[in-house]
């Protein structure tokens, strides 16, 4: 293992302003959950995304769970979900005893395939209660097509924008298209509150219910009374202060990550067998992570060989998400491919790599990553 300092895939990047919001919470003794920072963070996220309201919660997973509750998802119902994503996108389906049906990606955005979604809806004997569309690695799905399909069938959309805050689709902010929209502020995200999430919607009445459910569903009574199941899902006032400071520099963070992506493309964009995640016209990718696929026949090494080589140099890289339809947890779940005999998600998992992409990664650190990838390419070309 190299003795050089570790280069992480995506580490937290503080702005320096977080402490002032935290200090204010301490000085005013708003230490318990909720408070002015929570209220302010909710308003500011809603304003940034152009949506009516937002509810700050403990995680993106909690936000998805609340969205499913608000849509009355119950045991035995089905919910469609992108397959190429982190397990947190689908776990809340199972929390409610519902059944996930997984939808493949398409190659142009790596996100949910409208073709696969259409076939899944056509096949459904009973329509799903919701469709969870994930915006993978910071790029929106083809929301026009997906929303049109779901509207035609009368199925509400939950837009899982956990990775895509700051991205845009045809001039609108990612996380503003669904009936409910979800952001994550986990430590590795483009902005962070250490841990936390946000449920966003134009349905202000529904978000009032979400806040009720997220605070243990306590009925309005002088004593502790509960008529339905609730959760301890609200964000703390201290963490919301961190989020407010982070949100102030979100656009800077997007620009920094896009610059990281551009440097990788400048170094390797002409390498036959390296194909970076596309960005279609009308889309603005936040480049939360720089991702690419590797053709082992053309470059002479596999994605895992690249990951292992970088790891030996104390550099973190990872495979693309393992599709949920391949996870043991969801063995036997229905899965609709992009086209007959063509599972795009499987291909992306088999050939995909995520490179270090942090907005706080220095140019020198990135050059170190580029150097070792270049050395691999040189070695393989000499062996041919």
- Hey, which residues are catalytic here? 189
The tokens 């599972």 sit on which residue? 343
Closest by CA to 13, choosing from 356, 301, 293, 379, is 356
**Largest alpha-carbon pair distance within the chain?**
78
Other beta carbons within 10 angstroms of residue 122's beta carbon come to 9
CA distance 271 to 294: 10
DSSP SS3 for 169 = strand
CA distance 246 to 224: 36
CA distance 91 to 99: 10
**Joined tokens for residue 122:** 């056509």
**Joined tokens for residue 152:** 């035609």
Q: Which residues of 178-193 are buried (b: 16+ CB within 10 A; e: fewer)?
A: bbbbbbbbbebbbbbb
**Joined tokens for residue 318:** 């990872």
Q: Which residues of 272-296 are buried (b: 16+ CB within 10 A; e: fewer)?
A: ebbbbbebeeebbbbbbbbbbbbeb
């Amino acid at each position: 293992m190299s003795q050089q300092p570790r280069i992480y895939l995506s580490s937290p990047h503080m702005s320096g302003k977080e402490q002032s919001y935290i200090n204010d919470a301490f000085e005013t003794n708003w230490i318990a959950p909720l408070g002015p920072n929570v209220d302010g963070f909710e308003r500011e996220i809603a304003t940034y995304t152009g949506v009516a309201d937002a509810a700050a919660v403990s995680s993106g997973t909690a936000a998805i769970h609340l969205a499913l509750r608000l849509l009355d998802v119950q045991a035995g119902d089905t919910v469609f979900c992108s397959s190429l994503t982190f397990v947190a996108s689908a776990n809340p389906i199972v929390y409610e005893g519902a059944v996930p049906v997984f939808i493949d990606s398409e190659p142009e955005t790596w996100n949910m395939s409208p073709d696969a979604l259409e076939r899944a809806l056509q096949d459904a004997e009973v329509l799903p209660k919701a469709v969870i569309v994930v915006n993978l690695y910071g790029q929106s799905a083809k929301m026009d097509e997906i929303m049109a399909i779901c509207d035609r069938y009368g199925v509400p959309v939950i837009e899982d924008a956990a990775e895509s805050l700051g991205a845009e689709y045809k001039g609108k902010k990612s996380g503003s298209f669904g009936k409910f929209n979800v952001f994550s502020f986990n430590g590795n995200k483009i902005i962070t509150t250490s841990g936390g999430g946000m449920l966003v919607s134009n349905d202000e009445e529904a978000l009032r219910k979400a806040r009720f459910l997220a605070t243990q569903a306590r009925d309005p009574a002088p004593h502790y009374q509960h008529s339905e199941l609730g959760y301890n899902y609200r964000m703390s006032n201290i963490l919301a202060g961190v989020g407010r400071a982070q949100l102030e520099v979100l656009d800077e963070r997007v620009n920094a990550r896009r610059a990281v992506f551009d440097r990788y493309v400048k170094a390797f964009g002409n390498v036959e067998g390296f194909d970076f995640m596309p960005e279609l016209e009308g889309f603005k990718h936040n480049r939360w992570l720089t991702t690419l696929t590797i053709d082992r026949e053309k470059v002479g090494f596999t994605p895992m060989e690249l990951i292992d080589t970088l790891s030996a140099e104390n550099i973190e890289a990872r495979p693309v998400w393992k599709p949920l339809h391949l996870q043991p947890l969801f063995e036997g779940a229905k899965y609709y491919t992009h086209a007959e005999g063509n599972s795009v998600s499987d291909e992306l998992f088999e050939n995909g790599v995520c490179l270090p992409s942090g907005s706080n990664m220095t140019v020198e650190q990135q050059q170190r990553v580029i150097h070792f990838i270049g050395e691999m390419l040189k070695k393989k070309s000499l062996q041919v």
